[in-house]
Amino acid sequence: MAELKYDKKSGRILFTKEMRRQYKILAPNMLPVHFKLFEKVLQRAGYDVEVLKNDSHRVVEEGLKHVHNDTCYPALLVIGQMIDALNSGKYDVNKTALMITQTGGGCRASNYIHLLRKALKSAGYEQVPVISVNLSGLESNPGFTVTPALVMQFVASLVYGDLLMLLNNQVKAYEVNVGESEALVDSWVDRLLEQFARGKGMLGEEFRANLRQIADEFDAIPVNRVPKVKVGVVGEIYVKYSPLANNHLEEFLASQDCEVMVPGLMGFVLFKVDNRLDDIRLYGGSSMKYKAVSVLKEFCTKMESAMLDALKDHPHFTAPSPYAHLRTLVNGVVGYGSKMGEGWLLTAEMLELCESGYENIVCTQPFGCLPNHINGKGMIGRIRKVSPNANITPIDYDPSATKVNQENRIKLMLAVARENLAERLAAEAAEATQAAKTADTAINDRAEVEIVADDRPSGDVIEVKVSLTPEKPSAKSGKKPEQV
């Protein structure tokens, strides 16, 4: 065990340079594909990081034991997962550190770290240091530094994760050979990890070429695109993404024969970065900070464009809208100052899903999460005014909410979605029949049919000549009729 050093001001245990060489660092999981890539990026930077996979009911039990049950459900799960891992006996608790993000916003996500330290104390792991990953200067440690290179590699991994998640969802629902799309995700994760290990694939042309190839390979998977109910999933970031928190929501929707769309992580990152600029614009602040944050925003926007470019030649896929468009969608709906938690982005994501044909939406919310209840559930009425087709169901997640209850509520939303889909298909079919009839009548009115040869005893027509009377000249175009 390394010598324990404490921060003079707060008294917390510091993660020292000595610990960096000796300690295993455990991080909670949220998005399986993204976090596998993040893990590799951190390992390459010299940190012995392991993203946790324990997800049994013990996680909730440990969370409930050490975190007040009124606390945000994501905090309860993240802390429960870490304590459960420390209890497992798999790790030397005197050579293990924990890692957690701090968003830097006013929401409780910036304060999970304090709840975690309190929980460690009550569980008997006071000696375990906690590393904060943040870009807001909230907490620092001598043994952990967020360098520009690390940020760039994180953003690249995030884009890969977003693209793989997007394409997997859009192909999996229609694939002819079940499992092909998931297998391609796994294969790409392996290929990317191998490239990362060699310091490749994270930037420039290598990065763009990988994105294009990913899109090409997903487009080559044989599919049968029958009409299906399309469902968007939004909500509090952890509950939206983590199968542990949302009771495997995506799997459930797939079992109901739906195509799922989950907005990517890049929107959230750009939202958080942009918030810093909004803060300075609304309340004032350092111009140096404004410039530095603007550079980061520009970099993230470029990376986002690289992903959207890779999808340009693949019209089968629905590309997500760029963050800049999401921002315009909430104009007049909710203010940019509403930025606790997912803030206005949550409303924007729902509007964007409606715009791109995913108007059936599950809005996942931790029970009692005020920011998400305001910008999620609280905005449904406003969203319906803009998109009358919106079919949104807010679902609460907490330790006492049962999976069966949640799924039954989603099934009610899906019943409406299926009716809407059937009505839409019937209307499209009627429209197509009417269009065909109109075209048929127009041709019949102009057609003269002449039998030119009928030399068989049965009298079957074997050769006919059809002449179409030329259309009248269009008053608008003034063109002469075509001679047929």
Q: How many CB atoms lie within 10 A of CB 11?
A: 8
CB 293 to ligand SF4: min, Å: 21
Residue 415: exposed, middle, or buried by beta-carbon count in 10 A (0-12, 13-18, 19+)?
Answer: exposed
CB 207 to ligand SF4: min, Å: 31
| CA dihedral sign, ordered 167, 169, 174, 178 | positive
Whether 79 and 72 have beta carbons less than 8 Å apart is answered as no
Q: Tokens 């945000």 map to which residue?
A: 72
Q: What's the distance, CA 348 to chain centroid?
A: 13
Q: Is residue 301 within a helix (H) or strand (E), and if so which, with residue range?
A: helix 287-311
Residues 318-357 that bind ligand SF4 (CB under 6 A): 341
Could you tell me which stretch among 106-114, 142-150, 252-260, 433-441 binds ligand SF4 (CB under 6 A)?
106-114
Could you tell me which stretch among 259-267, 298-306, 363-371, 447-455 binds ligand SF4 (CB under 6 A)?
363-371
Among 26, 31, 109, 261, which residue interacts with ligand SF4 (rule: CB under 6 A)? Answer: 109
| CA dihedral sign, ordered 370, 371, 376, 381 | positive
x/- track of binding to ligand SF4 for residues 223-262 (CB under 6 A): -------------x--------------------------
Q: Tokens 């199968």 map to which residue?
A: 243
CB 195 to ligand SF4: min, Å: 34
Which amino acid, one-letter code, is at 186? D
Among 74, 129, 320, 394, which residue interacts with ligand SF4 (rule: CB under 6 A)? Answer: 74
Q: Whose CA is closest to 214, among 168, 259, 251, 255?
A: 168
Among 20, 34, 36, 108, which residue interacts with ligand SF4 (rule: CB under 6 A)? Answer: 108
Among 19, 52, 59, 107, which residue interacts with ligand SF4 (rule: CB under 6 A)? Answer: 107
Among 37, 42, 72, 233, which residue interacts with ligand SF4 (rule: CB under 6 A)? Answer: 72
Which amino acid, one-letter code, is at 468? L
Could you tell me which stretch among 20-28, 102-110, 254-262, 325-333 binds ligand SF4 (CB under 6 A)?
102-110
Q: Is residue 231 within a helix (H) or strand (E), and if so which, with residue range?
A: strand 229-235
CB nearer to ligand SF4: pick between 320 and 341 = 341
Query: b or e along 189-200 (b: 16 or more beta carbons within 10 Å of the residue's beta carbon)?
Result: beebbebbeeee
371 near ligand SF4 (CB under 6 A) = yes
Could you tell me which stretch among 76-84, 103-111, 156-164, 184-192 binds ligand SF4 (CB under 6 A)?
103-111
CB 71 to ligand SF4: min, Å: 8
CB 111 to ligand SF4: min, Å: 8
Q: Rounded to whole angstroms, how far apart are CA atoms 388 and 380? A: 10
CB 369 to ligand SF4: min, Å: 3
CB 247 to ligand SF4: min, Å: 16
Q: How many CB atoms lie within 10 A of CB 316?
A: 12
Give contact residues for ligand SF4 (rule: CB under 6 A). 72, 74, 107-109, 236, 341, 366, 369-372
